[in-house]
Amino acid sequence: MAPRHYTSVLDLDRDQTLAVLARAAKLKAAWHKKRKASKRLRGYTLAAIFEKPSLRTRTTFEAGMTQLGGHSTYLGPNDIRLGARESVADIAQNLSRWVQIIMARTYAHSTITELAEWSAVPVINGLSDQEHPCQALADFQTLQERLGNLEGKKLAYVGDGNNVAHSLLLMGALLGLHVSVATPEGYEPHMEIIERAQQLAAAQHANIEATWDVQQAVQGADAVYTDVWASMGQEVEAEARRSIFAGYQVTPELMAATGKPETIFMHCLPAHRGEEVAAAVLDGPQSIVFDQAENRLHAQKALILWLLDR
């Protein structure tokens, strides 16, 4: 049988996504109650491939495998040099003989899809330039904790139309949320992502919107989300982006513009206080950013178990 992969949000359908989120909630509750590792994945190893540095991705996958009774082995940028020292196809086929699951955090999305093409074990997208699906799972687990049933709720994303925005659009549409993304002109999410999200949302009677108008995007939002203005690999653009994105900072005033005092603030971290978000918002009572960070651990455990059919 071909292995299950999670290279994109859309590798899981609506029911499968909800099932993974439900299991994540149970795993979290069980861990908080007992703090005891299971034996479910005893003898299983995850190979964690990193082209980019990471705090949350590395720690949560390693801790998650430990809590499930398995093991994670770290393969850093200088360990294997994907596609340079050895082809992606050869690396995938070698790892498939030694480990039971692979996670990769890469620059190019094509690296993820090539790993999945040649791997005989499940491959997880830990981040690529196209999507950040594991972050989206954690985000929607967190939204469920705060908002309950998500159908008909509104999520506003403000900032760069990047990989995080792509995954939020797709998962939000899949789960029936209204998602509004506000970006500067020229920094919109990819049109094919917007169109696919609109198709998915229509089936759930939800709306997907891409706009340049921040005030319009956040109006009526139950959650406001942002990310850094310059991602890893875009450092040379950072200074120019600061002026381009200046009107897209999430401030207390922008949070108030939702018209809902209970609106929550979200960020995938790391955050730059005073750039994409004011410190008063990030560190304020509406912020749930560390709940999101914690839920990376539990959402990924649920995902691993689903991929391995355990």
The verdict on residue 140 lying in a domain is yes
Q: Considering the candidates 11, 139, 222, 227, report the single residue annotated as catalytic.
A: 227
**pLDDT score of 83 more than 90:** no
Q: Considering the candidates 58, 141, 268, 298, report the single residue annotated as catalytic.
A: 268
Q: How far apart are CA 92 and CA 94, in angstroms?
A: 6
User: Is there a single domain that holds both residue 128 and residue 201?
Assistant: no
pLDDT at 82: 83
- Respond yes or no: is residue 310 known to be catalytic: no
Backbone angles phi, psi at 202, to 5 degrees: -60, -35
Residue 161 corresponds to which tokens in the numbers above? 């139309």
User: Is there a single domain that holds both residue 196 and residue 117?
Assistant: no
User: Is there a single domain that holds both residue 35 and residue 117?
Assistant: yes
The verdict on residue 148 lying in a domain is yes
Domain total of the chain: 2
pLDDT at 293: 98
Residue 53 corresponds to which tokens in the numbers above? 């540095």
User: Is there a single domain that holds both residue 128 and residue 271?
Assistant: no
pLDDT in tens, 11-40: 999 999 999 999 999 999 999 999 999 999
User: Is there a single domain that holds both residue 82 and residue 139?
Assistant: no
Q: How far apart are CA 9 and CA 125, in angstroms?
A: 9
User: Is there a single domain that holds both residue 85 and residue 174?
Assistant: no
User: Is there a single domain that holds both residue 53 and residue 165?
Assistant: no
User: Is there a single domain that holds both residue 150 and residue 107?
Assistant: no
The verdict on residue 4 lying in a domain is no
**pLDDT score of 58 more than 90:** yes
pLDDT at 292: 98
The verdict on residue 1 lying in a domain is no
pLDDT band for 235, please (50, 70, 90 cuts): confident
pLDDT at 3: 97
The verdict on residue 2 lying in a domain is no
**pLDDT score of 230 more than 90:** no
Quick one: which of 232, 229, 248, 231 has its CA closest to 240? 229
User: Is there a single domain that holds both residue 139 and residue 288?
Assistant: yes
**pLDDT score of 121 more than 70:** yes
The residue type at 262: E
**Structural domain boundaries enclosing 21:** 9-132+296-307
pLDDT at 246: 94
User: Is there a single domain that holds both residue 154 and residue 285?
Assistant: yes
- Respond yes or no: is residue 216 known to be catalytic: no
pLDDT at 233: 65
- Respond yes or no: is residue 134 known to be catalytic: no
- Respond yes or no: is residue 132 known to be catalytic: yes
Q: Considering the candidates 4, 58, 109, 132, report the single residue annotated as catalytic.
A: 132
**pLDDT score of 267 more than 70:** yes
User: What CATH number corresponds to the domain at position 37?
Assistant: 3.40.50.1370
pLDDT in tens, 130-166: 999 999 999 999 999 999 999 999 999 999 999 999 9
In the predicted model, what is the mean pLDDT of the chain?
96
pLDDT in tens, 240-265: 899 999 999 999 999 999 999 999 99
- Respond yes or no: is residue 296 known to be catalytic: yes
Of 83-87, 121-125, 174-178, 272-276, give the lowest mean pLDDT range.
83-87
Q: 220: phi > 0 → left, psi -120 to 50 → alpha, else beta; which?
A: left
Q: How far apart are CA 191 and CA 15, in angstroms?
A: 26
The verdict on residue 3 lying in a domain is no
Q: Considering the candidates 67, 100, 130, 135, report the single residue annotated as catalytic.
A: 135
The verdict on residue 221 lying in a domain is yes
pLDDT at 238: 81
Q: Considering the candidates 109, 166, 241, 296, report the single residue annotated as catalytic.
A: 296
- Respond yes or no: is residue 227 known to be catalytic: yes
Q: How far apart are CA 69 and CA 66, in angstroms?
A: 5
Q: Considering the candidates 105, 166, 178, 267, report the single residue annotated as catalytic.
A: 105
pLDDT at 232: 66
